[in-house]
Amino acid sequence: MKLLRFMAVALSGWFLAGAAQAADPVNVYSIWPENYARPMFQEFEKATGIKVNFIRFSSGEALARVIAEKNNPRIDVLFGGPVETFAAGIKEGIFQPYKSPSFAKLPARFKQADGQWTAIADDPLVFMTNAAFLKGKNLKAPASWDDLLDPAYKNQLQMADARTSGTAVTRIFSVLEVNKRDEEKAFAYLKKLRQSVQLYTKSGGGGTLPVGLGQAGGGIFFIVDALETKAKGYDVVISFPKEGIGTSAEAIALIKGAKNPEGGKKLIDFATSAAMQSKLSEHKVNFVPANPDVKTDPALAEVLKGANIFPIDDEYAGANRKRIVDRWVKEVLGPQ
Amino acid sequence: MAARGLAAETRRMLRDPALLGAVVVLWLLLGLFVLYPLAELLVRAFSDEGRFTLEPLLGSLADSHHRAAFVNSLILGGTVGVLGTVLGFLFAMTATRAGLGRHWLTLLDAAALLPLVSPPFTTSIAIVFSFGPKGFISHDLLGLDNVSAYGFWSTALAETLTYFPIAYLTLRPIIAAIDPNLEEMAFSLGGSRWRIFRTVTLPLAVPGFANAFLLLFAASLADFATPLILAGNNFPVLPTQAYLQITGMFDFKGGAVLSLMLLVPAAAVYLLQRYWVGRRVYVTVTGKVGQRSRSRAIAPWAAVLLVVATVLVAVAILYFYALLLYASLVVAFGANNSFTWQHYHVIFTEGLPAIRDTLIIALIGMPLGGFYGVLVGYLIARRRFPGRQAMEIVSMINYALPGTIVGIAYLIAFNDPPLALTGGALIIVACYIFRYSPTGIRATVALLQQIDRSLEEASASLGAGSGQTFRRVTLPLIAPAFFAGLGVVFIRSMTAISATIFLVSLSWTLITVRILENMTELALGPAAAFSVFVIVVVFVVVSGLSALLMRLRTPMAGAAARSLLGG
C-alpha cells in the first residue's frame, strides 16, 4: 500500500519535472558550495520574491553538464566558480551575453568585454598550515614559496589537482608570475614542490579538512575555504608568500536558451550589485567583494593586510591554460 | 548445423508467446537503456565534425600515463577479486559450516553487510583517519610518523572491504545449498576432511567462485570513488582518469576512450568465467531436499580458526563504522569533540528533500530491478532463443562500464526530445536497474545451475506453458536470487553515486550526492549523519526482506533466506 502511494507520488513527480515550469523560479547550477550559496539565494528571494532552485556541482562537473544540455538547457544561470571555467564555456557557446547595471563600474578584470560573464567576487590564494604541525616541527608559518621546499614539509602538503580544480590552475599561474613567466624556472620549482606534496585533491578545498585534522601539514587554498576551516574550529594558520600569490575572480553568467531569461537577469543584477555582495560578510562568506561600492569585511581585510596579492592575467592564462596544465600533468603530477 | 539450430530456436520461440513477449520487451529495454546511450557515447568519441576518427584512441594509447593506469586497473581488479573472494568464502564457510549460534550469525552478517550498505567512500575516509600520517592506528597507536595512506595497498584494502560482501552474498547460498549429506556420504566412505573439502565442497562452489571473482573484478574496475580518495598520485587507475578527463579537462572524447579501454578486460574475465564454469555440472538439488544433518565436514580446530579469522575482520569493519558514528555525534570531528544531535537535525530539515527523493527512487527501482534480474537470468540459464548470448553480454554492459561513463552517456542520450528524460526520476531509476541488476542475473544463473532441469521438464511434459512453469516451478526455486537482486538494487539506489551524480537534477537529488557535497564543504558531521541514516534504512529494509522470505512456503526459499540475508 505504502509502495503504491510512493509510486503515485513519484509518477506525478515525473510529470511535474517533465513539464515546463511556470516562469517564476530561477534554475541555477551553483559552483559555490551550498553553505555559501544558500544564504545568497535566500537574500535574493527576500529582495525580489523570486525563488531559486539550485543544485551544487564542482566547476568541471557543472560545465560538463551545461555543455551536455546545450540543446535543451535545464538552467538559467551558472553561479559562482572561477572565471577560467567561464572562459572554457565561452568557447562552447553556452552563454548569453548580458550586462547588468553594475557592469560599467566594474574594473576590466571583473568582466568579459561582451558581457558573457561578470564577476561577483574575488578570491585570493593563501598558504594554510596546521598549527600543531608547525609547533611539532618547530617551524614558522611559511612566508615564501621556497619555505614549502623545506624537508620538514616532505610528503606533508595537500593541494588541488590542476585537471579538475580552478584553485590549482590559479596556483600554477601564481608560480609562473612569481618566476616572471619563465616556464623552465617555474616548472623546476613545481617539480621540487612535488616532493612536499602528499596528495593532489580533486576539488580546491579537498585538502582543508585533512590539514585541519593534522592528516596533512598544510597546503595552498582559496582564502574563503581557509577561513571556513578556521571558523569550524580547526587550529590552522593562514599566511602569504612575500613573493606574492594570485587571486581569481568568481563569476556569474546567463545560459543561452534559458527558459526564464528574465528571472536569470534579475539574479545577475542582484549578484553583481552591492545588494548581494554587502551580505557576504553578514553570512561569514569570506569572498572579497568585486563590486567597488562594497567594503571588504574588516576581519577579512585584517587577514589580507600587507599581503602581496596580484590578479592572474586573464588573456595570458586563457591563451596558455591548456598547454600549461598538460605540461603539469606530464612533468609534475605523474609517479615520481 | 548452426543455422538449423537457430531456425529451430526461432520456431520454438514463435510458438511460445510468453517467451516471445519477454524477449521482445527485454530487447526493447536493453536497446533503449544500454545500447542507445552507449552508441551515442561512441559517436561522440569517434567522430570529429561528422567524420570517423581514431585519433583520440591512438592518442590515449600512446600516452604512458594512460597505459600505466590501464595496467594498474587490472592489477587492482585482480587483487580485489582474489582477496574479496577469499574473504567472502571465509565468511560463507564460517556462516554455513562452523556451527555458530543464531545470534553470532546475525552479528557476523551485520559486520559483513555494513560496507555494502554504506556510501563507498566511507571506508576510504575511515582508512585515512586510521592509517594516515596522524591516523589513530598508524600514529596514536603505533607511533609511526610520516606514513602515507595513499597508494595501491590502501586502495586494494578499501575496495576489498567494500566489495567482499558481494562475494559473501554470492557464495553463501551456494555453499548453503550444497547438501551436507553429500559431504556426510563422502565422510562415511572414509574420505579425510581435507580430501572432502577439496573434492566435494570446493568443486561444488566453483560457479560461485567464478561469479564472485567476476563481480568483484568488475566492481573494482568500475569503482572511481575509492581510488579518487585513496589511490594518490603514484597509482592512477582508469575510472578515475576517465572521470578527471571528463569533469576536469572537459574532454568527453578522451574520457569515453579511456573508459572503453575498461571494456576489454571486463569482457575477457567474463568469457573466461563462461568457459571455465560452463563445462562442469553442479546439480545438488534434485527436487527433494535432503534432511539438513549437522555438518561434520569441518574439524573442530578448523572451525575455531575460521571463526577467529572472521571475527578479526568483522571487528576491523565495526571499528571503521564506529568512527563514522562518532563523527556524526560530535560538533567538529578532531577539533571539538563534544556531543551534539545538531547534524541529525540538519539532515532532517535541509537534507529532507534528498532523503525523500532517494527513498522514492529506491522503492520504485527495487521490485522492478529484482524482477528484471530474475527474468533475464532465467532466460539466459534455461531457455534457448536466438540472441541469447548477446542478451547476456548486453545486460552486463552497464555494470562493467564505469558509472561516470554511464552517467555521461545517459546525459547525452536522454537530454533532447523525444527522449528528454533528464530532470526526472525515471532516468535515475532506469540507471540503477540496468546498472545493478546484473547481481540478480548472476545469482539467478548460479542458482539455476544447481537446480536440476528435470523439474521444469516435468512441468512442461504435464502440459504447462513456459509462463506457467516459470511462475509455478522456477520462480519459487529462484526466489532467493530474486530477493538478492532486489536487495542489491535497493542498496545501490541508496548508496551509489558515480553514475547518478550526472543524473540528479533540480527536482530530484540524492543523499549520496549530498554526502559528497558535505565533504567538500568541510561538513563532515552531516556527511557522517547522512551515512548513518542510509545504513540504518538499508538494514531495516534488508531485514524486512529477510523476514518476508522466511514466510515463503518453499523449504528451499526459507533455508536460503536465512543464509542469504542473515538471521
Q: How many CB atoms lie within 10 A of CB B46?
A: 18
First to last CA, chain A: 60
Q: Could you tell me if residue A322 is inside a domain?
A: yes
Mean pLDDT of A81-97: 88
C-alpha to C-alpha distance for A107 and A249, rounded to whole angstroms: 11
Q: Is the peptide bond before B418 cis (omega within 30 degrees of 0)?
A: yes
Q: Could you tell me if residue A17 is inside a domain?
A: no
Q: What is the pLDDT of residue B249?
A: 67
Q: How close does chain B come to A113, measured CA to CA in Å?
A: 24
Of A61, A74, A209, Cβ closest to residue B247: A61
Range of the structural domain that residue A31 is part of: 23-122+249-296
Q: Could you tell me if residue A301 is inside a domain?
A: no
Instruction: Compare B559 and B197 and report the one with higher pLDDT.
Output: B197
pTM to 2 decimals? 0.78
Residue A248: in which H helix or E strand, if any?
A: strand A245-255
| Encoded amino acid at B484, one letter | A
- Non-local CB neighbours of A330 within 8 Å, separated by 6+ positions: B65
pLDDT of A75 strictly over 70 = yes
State whether A162 and A232 are in the same domain: yes
State whether A257 and A115 are in the same domain: yes
pLDDT tens profile A216-260? 899 999 999 999 999 888 999 999 999 999 998 999 999 999 999
Fold of B12-43+346-567: MetI-like fold (1.10.3720)
Is residue A226 within 8 A of residue A292, CB to CB? The reply is no
Highest mean pLDDT among A31-45, B224-238, B468-482: A31-45
Taking contacts as CB-CB distances below 8 angstroms, the residues of chain A near B234 are 335-336
Mean pLDDT of B552-564: 43
pLDDT of B555 strictly over 50 = no
pLDDT tens profile B359-379? 999 999 999 999 999 899 989
Q: Contact B148/A13, CB-based, under 8 Å? A: no
State whether A38 and A27 are in the same domain: yes
Burial A161-171 (b: 16+ CB within 10 A, else e): bbbbbbbbbbb
State whether A168 and A193 are in the same domain: yes
CATH homologous superfamily of B63-279+295-335: MetI-like (1.10.3720.10)
Q: Which three cell numbers stand for residue A147?
A: 619555505
State whether A314 and A172 are in the same domain: yes
State whether A321 and A276 are in the same domain: no
C-alpha to C-alpha distance for A21 and A41, rounded to whole angstroms: 19
pLDDT of B1 strictly over 50 = no
State whether A68 and A102 are in the same domain: yes
Q: What is the pLDDT of residue B144?
A: 66
Return the axis-axis angle of helices B102-113 and B300-329, rounded to nearest 10°.
50
Q: Contact B246/A199, CB-based, under 8 Å? A: no
Angle, CA of A214, B526 and B325, to the nearest 5°: 75
Kindly report, as residue ranges, where domains of CATH 1.10.3720.10 are found in chain B.
Answer: 12-43+346-567, 63-279+295-335
Closest chain B residue by Cα to residue A29: B506
C-alpha to C-alpha distance for B535 and B114, rounded to whole angstroms: 7
- Residues counted in chain B: 567
Q: Contact A233/B148, CB-based, under 8 Å? A: no
Q: How close does chain B come to A331, measured CA to CA in Å?
A: 11
> Given CB atoms, is B59 within the 8 Å cutoff of chain A?
no
pLDDT of A180 strictly over 60 = yes
Residue A257: give its domain's CATH number. Answer: 3.40.190.10
Q: Contact B65/A229, CB-based, under 8 Å? A: no
**Out of A143-147, B406-410, B446-450, least confident range:** B446-450
State whether A190 and A327 are in the same domain: yes
Mean pLDDT of B228-232: 80
Q: Contact B412/A68, CB-based, under 8 Å? A: yes
Q: Could you tell me if residue A2 is inside a domain?
A: no
pLDDT tens profile B242-275? 777 776 666 777 777 777 777 777 777 767 766 6
Q: How close does chain A come to B250, measured CA to CA in Å?
A: 6
Taking contacts as CB-CB distances below 8 angstroms, the residues of chain A near B249 are 60, 163, 325
Q: What is the pLDDT of residue B85?
A: 93
Interface A:B, Cβ pairs < 8 A: 173
pLDDT of A64 strictly over 90 = no
Highest mean pLDDT among A8-17, B70-79, B386-395, B487-496: B70-79
Strands A95-96 and A245-255 turn out to be: antiparallel
State whether A276 and A176 are in the same domain: no
| Encoded amino acid at A239, one letter | S
Interface of B with A in 313-342 (CB under 8 A): 331-336
Only one residue has cell 569585511, namely A297
C-alpha to C-alpha distance for B182 and B292, rounded to whole angstroms: 11
Q: Could you tell me if residue A11 is inside a domain?
A: no
pLDDT tens profile B43-57? 877 877 777 777 777
B11 vs A129, B4, B7, CA distance in Å? 74, 10, 6
pLDDT of B137 strictly over 90 = no
Q: Contact A74/B506, CB-based, under 8 Å? A: yes
Task: Specify the number of domains making up chain A.
Answer: 2
State whether A128 and A190 are in the same domain: yes
DSSP A196-228: TEEEEESSTTTTHHHHHHTSSSEEEEEHHHHHH
Q: How close does chain B come to A35, measured CA to CA in Å?
A: 7
State whether A133 and A266 are in the same domain: no
pLDDT tens profile B210-222? 878 887 887 888 7
